[in-house]
Amino acid sequence: MIPALSLAGSLLGSPDVTQAAPAAGSSSPAAETSFGDVLAKVGEAMETLKNGETTAISGLQGQASIQQVVESVMNAERSLQTAVAIRDKLVSAYQTISQMPI
């Protein structure tokens, strides 16, 4: 599965495709995820982006190894792809709702 979509699913509380189905009688993961939890994950994504930028600058200055720079930039890219995927889902849901007849 694409890492960004897998992470987007975990942020929104949907189970990963590779996970087994929950046992009968157990609560769904969507019921356990609150809006505050999603906002906390967005805050973590912002920190990841800032960390990637800081590490890239340190790498240009010769203070960080190439491996550290690549890892930080890849994590930041993954976080950005996740944020874009979530935004696209929200826009799509809004458009679907706005097109419903009243």
pLDDT tens, position by position, 12-35: 454 444 444 444 444 555 557 787
CA 3 to chain centre: 9
pTM (predicted TM-score): 0.58
Amino acid identity for residue 62 in this structure: G
Q: How confident is the model at residue 102 (pLDDT cuts 50, 70, 90)?
A: confident
Residues 16, 2: Cα–Cα separation, whole Å: 11
pLDDT (tens digit per residue) in 41-83: 888 888 998 999 999 999 999 999 999 999 999 999 999 998 8
Cβ(78)–Cβ(7) under 8 Å?
yes
Give the mean pLDDT of 72-100.
92
Q: Could you state, in order of their start, the residue ranges of all structural domains in the chain?
A: 49-102
